[in-house]
Amino acid sequence: MKLVLDTSTPTTKLTLGDQHYVWESGRNLARDLLAYIHERLKEQGKDWHDLTEIHYNTGPGSFTGLRIGATVVNTLATELNIPLYDQSGKKLTVALPVYDRPAHTTPPRK
């Protein structure tokens, strides 16, 4: 079963096989993403080991959303030993987020 994930906006898009899901994840993405995917798998009578490939939207988009999504898909692809692709179908060793602008960070105080 193919997993397609897009965490580039506060609205997470997930496809598992032929089923499409939209989740207003907002600030709960880091805490709930794995559970959300697992619940959708269980709805279809599937589990993690039924996944055969992962496609991930590497960006551009939300700095935090892309980092969280990339961490999840990299971990799943590695642990399940399945191929990982970007949104254009290019095979990846590791998904690296593509940001549309520099992160808004403050300079160190020291």
CATH of the domain at 50: 3.30.420.40
Does residue 40 fall inside a structural domain? yes
Record the pTM. 0.89
Helix (H, G, I), strand (E, B) or coil at 57: coil
Q: Tell whether the model's pLDDT for residue 103 goes beyond 70.
A: no
Question: Which amino acid is located at 103 in the chain?
Answer: A
Does residue 110 fall inside a structural domain? no
Classify residue 53 as exposed, middle or buried by CB count within 10 Å of its CB (0-12, 13-18, 19+): middle
Q: Which one-letter DSSP state was computed for residue 25?
A: -
Does residue 108 fall inside a structural domain? no
Number of domains the chain contains: 1
* Domain limits for position 52: 2-92
Q: Are 64 and 14 in contact (CB under 8 A)?
A: no
Interatomic CA distance for residues 10 and 54, integer angstroms: 20
* Average pLDDT of the residues in 38-49: 98
Q: Average pLDDT, whole number, for the chain?
A: 94
DSSP string, 30-43: HHHHHHHHHHHHHH
Share of the chain above pLDDT 90, in %: 84
